[in-house]
Amino acid sequence: MSTAVLPTQIQPRSPQGGFVNEPFTDFKTPENERAIRAALEKVALEMGREYTLVIGGDRVKTTDKIRSLNPAKPSQVVGVHQKAGAEHAEQAMAAALRAFELWSRASTDERVSLLLNAADLIRQRKFELMAWLTYEVGKNWAEADADVGETIDFLEFYAREAVRLARATTPIQYPGERNELLYIPLGVGAVIPPWNFPFAIMAGMTAAAIVTGNTVVLKPSSDAPTIAAKFVEILEEAGMPDGVVNFCPGSGSAFGNAIVEHPKTRFIAFTGSKAVGLEIHERAAKTMPGQIWIKRTILEMGGKDSILVCEDADLDAAIEGVVASAFGFSGQKCSACSRAIVEAPVYDVFVERLRERVARLTVGDPAADPSMGPVVNKAALESMLRYVEIGKKEGRLIAGGNAPQTADGGYFLEPTVFSEIPPNGVLAQEEIFGPVLAVIKVNSFTEGLEVANNTEYGLTGGVYTSDRERLKIARREYHVGNLYFNRKCTGAMVGAHPFGGFNMSGTDSKAGGPDYLLLFTQAKSVAERL
């Protein structure tokens, strides 16, 4: 195995100015439309390439493979990846530990510069990376653009936060002493990202870990390993030393569990389902022989999110917000609106106008930029169709419900809406993670808040009302990590909307916020008598 060395090619850089979000791409501009179409054509010619594991800088091949497929055309292989097993966990850990000895001692400027260099490279390849997202997970142009933009935002934001953290000090200087408060890295961490934001969340968790001096074993989702491989290539080009990030696609039951349980693993950053998150939390809590610390878990586990539409709401705005939140990226967001809670006086009008608005959505190959592309895989589609059948028994189907058949066998589901769903019904309580919306009638704002809070989750929520008193009450009583008034409940922006939820939605880690890097560090107080 190669040994880790600090990069000589990285020239220390400081972030320029304050943080500003990456602008969205206007695809109505002919230049941008040509650019994304050209990128899609270019990437189409590169699909099917085989990628290796990257462990301590070494390229490793395995007998078992993971094939990433285009969910719009499942016969099309996006990338062929090695499948790390339990036997690779020790190799990856050893490489990460070696790298940690040097990387943890690198200056803040060096670590910050790595993120800034990577952000620059991503900007230069923005359309190409969008195209990979379109093919690998079925994002239309706007959703792919948002994913790439958020990736850049995380890198730029965490670079600035690392500089700020390095300047931290104690609240007072005790007389006769020099007092310091240092935030030092934890060690080797497992980063286990989801498939639905396979660039932004993957890169964000990884960047937060390494900019604070940790090293990482990265196990991307088996549905989206290719975009993670592209990110690791970018980090290497940006000057990352060997072993700082070790790229290891593999199964959760074999490689994932081995890394989570390893006595040298210091923390696990995970985004995904409640079931898997709780299993990781439980495994991490068990002290293994030779382990000298309590492992830290940073978990974001999903939601059952609601938008409450009051009788005094601007219905046009509310319908647009609900539709965008429920059906953006085919509802495959932990922040997606899966429940519209509507006050009785406007319920019937809302339902009818919602049905008309949903009818205008288009479903198709995301490369052609419809409103909605496919869902991620066959198992997900089959699960959603089971919920559709439950919805037909619990309520009234007012839109969608069908899985359109295509010549390429893509995994498509129409935007689906059920009205008359009871607040405690299956569709009102279980996370579907697809384009299925339950509309629930309530008799008052107070009842609406009670319904909004009646799930085990607490991630995002929204309220549409013109009543300032109701907004004041919702601020206090609506129990979610990200609450939005008179706007959609998806689309958290780095810096403006620190993201993470309560209860079974996770540890409220607040990605993209001023507290996030603290989760990847430990504080050390130093006092020197003068």
Domain limits, the chain: 30-301+509-529, 305-493
Residue 1: the pLDDT is 39
Q: Within 10 A of 26 (CB to CB), how many other CB atoms are there?
A: 10
Q: Give catalytic residues, as residue numbers.
A: 300, 334
Mean pLDDT, the chain, whole residue set:
97
Average pLDDT over residues 373-398: 98
CA atoms 66, 70, 74, 76: torsion sign: negative
Domain 30-301+509-529 matches domain 305-493 at the CATH topology level? no
CATH class of 30-301+509-529: alpha beta
- Give Cα 102 distance to the centre of its chain: 29
Q: What is the pLDDT of residue 6?
A: 53
| Spatial contact of 471 and 265, defined as CB atoms under 8 Å apart | no
| φ/ψ of residue 510, rounded to 5 | 60, 60
pLDDT tens figures, 248-288: 999 888 999 999 999 999 999 999 999 999 999 999 999 99
DSSP, collapsed to helix, strand or coil, labels residue 524 as strand
The model's confidence at residue 11, banded by pLDDT at 50, 70 and 90, is: confident
pLDDT band at 14 (very low <50, low <70, confident <90, very high): confident
Q: pLDDT value at position 511?
A: 98
User: What's the topology of domain 305-493?
Assistant: Aldehyde Dehydrogenase; Chain A, domain 2 (3.40.309)
**Confidence (pTM):** 0.97
The predicted pLDDT at position 59 comes to: 98
Q: Cα(134)–Cα(293) distance, rounded to whole angstroms?
A: 41
Per-residue pLDDT at 2? 42
Structure tokens that stand for 448 in this block = 């609406």
